[in-house]
Structure 1
């Protein structure tokens, strides 16, 4: 078996082993499994059946990641986008008034167009057009983006009307009686962060995954001792797996092939599909660059061989998502956790995909892993990815300023695409006005105009 896997995924060539890839895939799954809980909740706001969305989410993750693994042999995982699902639910359906069936049709159309782009030279032109310093900035920005997600999921960083964000108030939680839920969750996150950091410092194999499991077990102990008290109404669930409803898989029937193309000629529909396309395209390109850099998949010019196949896998996954009843997919930034564990091939993705498939049967177990246990992994991985900032040329303002806007834009705008947008527009503008027009490729001009138009129309 090991020999067959080595031939299929070229493990020795990439300096990895079956054990390392499987462990990396397991780590990625644990850090990304929250989509199984979050996505049905977000999509359910439109009136969609949450059980069907859960099953569709697991299937989309499996099929999309399988396509990525077999077509590219890259350690990337495809999941429903946590940004596009919010746009789907709160903007397109609840805001613009389209039915969720019409929104699913827009997702499918976007996937078809994405596939056509993946088959042309446009895919390589877009990837190669982005300057090397911006590519390093994208990797750095994704690291910061992952970090803010981890800090937010942990509860340590909270919203503040006065300062936008603030640190969780322990004294306040003791005063209002929420320490047994919110307070202890933050304490466990901090403990998990320290534990994972020590494991990494001591070079413990599988340190990120071990850190997640130890933090979860500590939470279970706290619940059994009454220190952590579940409060489902406030979003603090029991940390113990609940198998009271058995292992039945929710039916796909309520959302399967429910796409409504009756409004495909409407200008509004076209704008919505374009918004999905633009976000998916640059979410994918940004993630491929950032994650590819950390997995050492980029060549000396910062390009990734076979990027077209990766984008093709993404488009296939998005079309499948529309058909099954889900939002557009993206390359999960959480797979950086698996890359940090040594994942370098499609075997890592295949492992993660299989676990998503199995999650349909064991959803109570996987969904019991709390966000405070996975948040430390996101912060640690964020710190590893942010190291790409050291490769940026800060001696040249025409390179450093756009790079800076790119990597700070991602966490501050809470969007990979917005960070890329700020970087590209500022790069073109600054270099053009500074008399460095020769540095700017024609595709960069096109990308800058496209992003400017996006801000005007969307």
Structure 2
């Protein structure tokens, strides 16, 4: 025991030395490069005394493993969903290949996030960017899917280069404090919005041509065939919330397993032709109690335990399109959406995990490594045949369950790796089981705005924050919310400059405060 304590004590100054050795011992251009680019790193968590700083973080290995499992189960919807979306452009015959490709790149990227950055974040192909890939680039602009994958490949290298140059990290320091605080809450509303919808959630709200969204009524099984799924989702929601209130360990995982087992059992017992839990929502809404009116309906239940993995979409690049303007427009769009989206997710989830200091700063070295992993993940994903890889906001589900270190991300990676041969089982986790967890996670992320001053005295910060909070779920895009809130903040500050000059105040005081999020040296 004494040996362990001595090793742990000796490790702490060693960690600090790792972070600052280039800045304290070097001078001139080396120090400048270390301070102002993305080459600063921190891998002190890779030690034998306290691997991943599990003890220092106040958690246990079991908690981290459980939290990683919860994160994976909450993210696992990406396996069938990403394959479904991408197959619209690539071809229905490649759907199984795309499930495997999604699982492989998610496994590698998540594991690297845990090993290199020690962050409890899972990575996978991003929802929204896969839709842009399919519906805008391929279908609308008539770009071949091989050319679109090449554009993703180039954007990944652009991520990597700007990460090394420190530009991606600079983006974080340009986001105003109010927008940062609103980010977490905005993403929480975004998650809750997704969790309540039919596509990937509880199906409680549906689209409406007049009011945009409305309650999926009636709520009786006789009047709405979707009601069975909705009510079971509500039961999962109530059960999970009650367990969280009682501080039951692994409550989200229990909720997911509970809903999944009921859905599978019902489908196995009655079959898809008579199941009350048939998907998709809406498509089966007019089905009477006597049976289905179409073959498009299905219920979640695995038919096979495992399958031999293959990826026929790997390496499907085409470089003939590089000379055209549309190609580079796609590259820049992929790049900026992921850069801003990843930055926003990183801020929101690190705050939720408490990985910040008293000034709200997140670790410099670990953040650089996180950006690096995100870049490499996109490159690998494009090589396998899928769209831009990004850090997932669903990682907050594991954080809510107690996860705090890179062990969570490692576990997520392991589960995704196991999902490669067992994709027929993992991909059958029903939306009614994961949707309620997204709603609960979204609600928990609203705590970041508890102490924020929303009054008229702070309107220059509050209004941009509100715009961010509102636009993230309403535009279905994290990047749009950040851009709108930050742009509005900049305009206000520019207009206030003459007033500050008249009052003999520093007209750039607010702009200078932006860069306090990250110190120039250290963490």
- The normalised TM-score by structure 2 is 0.80
Q: Is the 8 A contact 2:111 2:412 kept in 1?
A: no
Counterpart CA distance in 1 for 2:177 and 2:102 is 35
User: C-alpha distance in 1, partners of 2:307/2:264?
Assistant: 25
Contact in 2 for aligned 1:424/1:444 (Cα 8 Å): no
Partner of 1:242, secondary structure, is coil
Choose 375-384 or 113-122, whichever is displaced more: 113-122
- Which segment is superposed worse, 422-431 or 27-36? 422-431
Give the one of 370, 379, 404 matched to 2:430: 370
1:240 and 2:305 equivalent? Answer: no
Return the match for 1:84 from 110, 119, 129. Answer: 129
Q: 1:328 and 1:367 mapped to 2: Cα distance?
A: 20
In structure 2, distance between residues paired with 1:351 and 1:229: 30
1:32-51 to structure 2, matched below 5 A, reads 32-48=75-91, 49-51=94-96
Equivalence for 1:285:
343
**Equivalent of 1:350 in 410, 434, 438:** 410
Q: Is the 8 A contact 1:111 1:316 kept in 2?
A: yes
- Of 207, 210, 228, 2:251 maps to 207
The equivalent residue for 2:236 is 192
Whole-angstrom distance in 1 between the partners of 2:129 and 2:164: 23
Residues of 2 paired with 1:6 and 1:196: CA distance? 36
User: How has the CA–CA distance of structure 1 residues 259 and 131 changed in structure 2, closer, same or farther, with 3 Å as cutoff?
Assistant: same
After superposition, the Cα gap between the structure-2 partners of 1:160 and 1:444, relative to the gap in structure 1 and judged at 3 Å, is: farther
1:130 matched to 2:191? The reply is no
Unaligned stretches of 5+ residues in structure 1: 446-458
Q: Quote the offset at 1:65 in angstroms.
A: 0.8
Counterpart for residue 446 of structure 2? 386
User: Is residue 329 of structure 2 the alignment partner of residue 271 of structure 1?
Assistant: yes
Q: 1:418 aligns with which of 463, 480, 485?
A: 480
Deviation at 1:366, TM superposition (A): 1.3
Contact 1:54 1:250 in 2 (8 A): no
Contact 1:126 1:443 (C-alpha < 8 Å) held by counterparts: no
The 1-side partners of 2:66 and 2:220 are apart by 40
Counterpart check, 1:157 vs 2:197: no
Q: Unaligned regions of 5+ residues in structure 2, if any? A: 5-46, 285-295, 501-506, 516-523
* One of 81, 100, 112 as aligned partner of 1:67: 112
SS for the counterpart of 1:141 is: helix
1:336-357 per-position Cα deviation (integer Å, ceiling 9, x unaligned):
0001011111110010111011
C-alpha separation in 1, matches of 2:206 and 2:163: 39
Of the candidates 160, 165, 176, which is equivalent to residue 115 of structure 1? 160
Counterpart CA distance in 1 for 2:247 and 2:65 is: 18
8 Å Cα contact 2:174-2:514 kept in structure 1:
yes
Say yes or no: does 1:9 pair with 2:9. no
Aligned to 1:452: none
Pick from 44, 48, 62: which aligns with 1:19? 62
Does structure 2 retain, via aligned residues, the 8 Å contact 1:216–1:373? yes
Deviates more, 1:200-209 or 1:115-124: 115-124
Q: Check conservation: 1:428, 1:440, Cα contact below 8 A.
A: no
Query: Which ranges of 4 or more aligned residues in structure 1 deviate by more than 6 Å?
Result: 3-6, 442-445
What is the match of residue 218 of structure 2? 170
Question: TM-score normalised to the size of structure 1?
Answer: 0.90
CA RMSD for the aligned pairs? 2.1
Q: Kindly state the Cα deviation for residue 300 of structure 1 after the two structures are TM-superposed.
A: 2.6
Higher alpha-carbon deviation: 435-444 or 5-14: 435-444
Is the Cα contact below 8 Å between 1:136 and 1:391 reproduced in 2? no
Asked whether the 8 Å contact 1:68–1:310 carries over to 2, the reply is yes
Task: Please give the per-residue CA displacement for 1:80-101, whole angstroms capped at 9, x wherever unaligned.
Answer: 0011000000000001011000
Q: Provide the aligned length of Structure 1 versus Structure 2.
A: 436
Corresponding residue number in structure 1 for 2:308 = 249
Question: Which structure is larger by alpha-carbon Rg, 1 or 2?
Answer: 2
Q: 1:148 to 1:440 in 2, by over 3 A?
A: same
